[in-house]
Structure 1
Amino acid sequence: MKCLLLVDIQNGFCSGGNLAVPNGEDVVPVANRLIAEGGYDLVVASQDWHPADHGSFASQHPGSHPFEMGTLGGKAQMLWPDHCVQGTRDADFHPGLDVAAIGYVQRKGENRAVDSYSAFRDNDQAALTGLSDYLLERRVDVLDVCGLATDYCVKASALDAKAMMPGVTVRFIADASRGIDPAGVEAAIAEMSAAGVRIVTSADVTGAN
């Protein structure tokens, strides 16, 4: 069973969004091509789905500003602009994404007390989303991961997939992903590769020249 995991391809992470990734919307046509031509048995998507008072928001820490380091639950935490608040346009999938092809949506980040980069578990690794069980029950043996942003949620999802689903081939599709910081993207790709995640392109998946 071959599965495509689309990570957080939401308005909030694209141009005009509250936490826009540079050129984030560029992943949409690549993702749609993968859906159409990648030979997937299953397409799933994660969706940041924060309460308005989520503890990772700088607005919840008086005197703090977005992109400063703060603390959450006693641990270091990057403080973000308010983004992907439940029920808002910012949290919606990008309108160009072929959402009709998505068979399952895994929402994350609903617990205000902990951030959730990964589609599989919270950052404290205590609470699981249930996505790994869902995929394993469907006998997924190849999982391709792409989306936004490479150096945060995509990396965390790929690493957790590798750690939580032994025996499953996990691949990161580089050109179907975008990151926040170029150096962070380079480091993320190196970390994923070192963990056994295969680094591929959409052409590798679809067989395009």
Structure 2
Amino acid sequence: MSRALIIVDVQNDFCEGGALPVEGGAALAAEISEYVDAHHGQFDHVVATQDWHIEPGAHFSEQPDFVDSWPPHCVAGTRGAELHPDLDTEYIQAYFRKGQFTAAYSGFEGLLAPDDAVPTGDRAPGSLPIGGAAGAAASSDFAAGEDAIGLDDWLQSHDVEEVVVVGIATDHCVKATALDAVQAGYSVTVLRGLTVGIAEDLDDAFAEMEFGGVDIA
């Protein structure tokens, strides 16, 4: 049995100074890095998800309701869509990008990014990904490809049966990813201390996850 850590959406736009900041996001990036550095030997695989919006329709709004619509964020190929510079990518094996043309909260809606479009570890903080602002066009190619690999496909191909989920935001993409992982048949744990959420009170989000079969640690 293989075990995987899923790092959800620790991106610049979801951290302080970004387009849709979650309080504590920047600190969380560093905390996850410390955790992975200390515990990577407990995982066979480490993957990360990213919002990667090209034309997500009504998901973007100039007058968002912050339930079904949001200010523009994590636009493909921009600095806001990049992983936060305090998130160490050394142990991350694969990146799954979601929401190109529609709203997407769960990492299980993401598609595997091509190798030449992900951080290599020698990139200066704040620099654009390979391809720069042209990244959006490249993203549409892999998003539409018949051979696109989803997160569930990738985990199954690596014999993963147990996943641990951390990241941003507890009450949105972390919750959606964890619940979808349960539905896909994985044993799922969310590390409460390695998530941050939008709501001030996250008890309901954790209760919903527990009711859905997620272990909260």
TM tier relative to shorter chain: 0.7 to 0.9
User: Which of the residues 19, 23, 45 maps onto 1:42?
Assistant: 45
Which 4+ stretches in 1 moved above 6 angstroms? none
Please say if residues 47 and 106 of structure 1, whose CA atoms lie closer than 8 Å, have aligned partners that are also in contact: yes
Please say if residues 9 and 47 of structure 1, whose CA atoms lie closer than 8 Å, have aligned partners that are also in contact: yes
How far residue 54 of structure 1 moved from its aligned partner, in angstroms, is 3.8
Instruction: Tell me, yes or no, if structure 1 residue 193 matches structure 2 residue 181.
Output: no
User: Which of the residues 119, 124, 131 maps onto 2:107?
Assistant: 119
How far residue 55 of structure 1 moved from its aligned partner, in angstroms, is 2.6
How far residue 159 of structure 1 moved from its aligned partner, in angstroms, is 0.1
How far residue 118 of structure 1 moved from its aligned partner, in angstroms, is 0.3
Please say if residues 181 and 188 of structure 2, whose CA atoms lie closer than 8 Å, have aligned partners that are also in contact: yes
Q: 2:28 is matched with which residue?
A: 27
User: Which of the residues 73, 91, 114 maps onto 1:83?
Assistant: 73
Q: 2:153 is matched with which residue?
A: 133
Structure 1 runs not aligned, ≥5 long: 60-64, 70-76, 123-127, 201-209
Q: 2:6 is matched with which residue?
A: 5
CA distance in 2, matches of 1:91, 1:48: 7
CA distance in 1, matches of 2:87, 2:167: 11
CA distance in 2, matches of 1:121, 1:90: 20
Query: Is the alpha carbon distance of 1:52 and 1:88 closer, same or farther for their aligned partners in structure 2, counting shifts above 3 Å?
Result: farther
How far residue 37 of structure 1 moved from its aligned partner, in angstroms, is 2.1
CA distance in 2, matches of 1:188, 1:156: 10
User: Which of the residues 178, 182, 196 maps onto 1:162?
Assistant: 182
CA distance in 1, matches of 2:161, 2:37: 20
Please say if residues 30 and 175 of structure 1, whose CA atoms lie closer than 8 Å, have aligned partners that are also in contact: no
Please say if residues 117 and 153 of structure 1, whose CA atoms lie closer than 8 Å, have aligned partners that are also in contact: yes
TM-score by length of 2: 0.77
Query: How many aligned residue pairs are there?
Result: 177
Secondary structure of the 2:152 match is helix
Of all paired residues, the percent bearing the same amino acid is 40
Instruction: Tell me, yes or no, if structure 1 residue 98 matches structure 2 residue 88.
Output: yes
Deviations 1:152-173 (A, max 9, x none): 0000000000001x2x210001
Could you say what the CA RMSD is over the residues aligned between the two structures, in angstroms? 1.8
Structure 2 runs not aligned, ≥5 long: 111-147
Q: 2:196 is matched with which residue?
A: 178
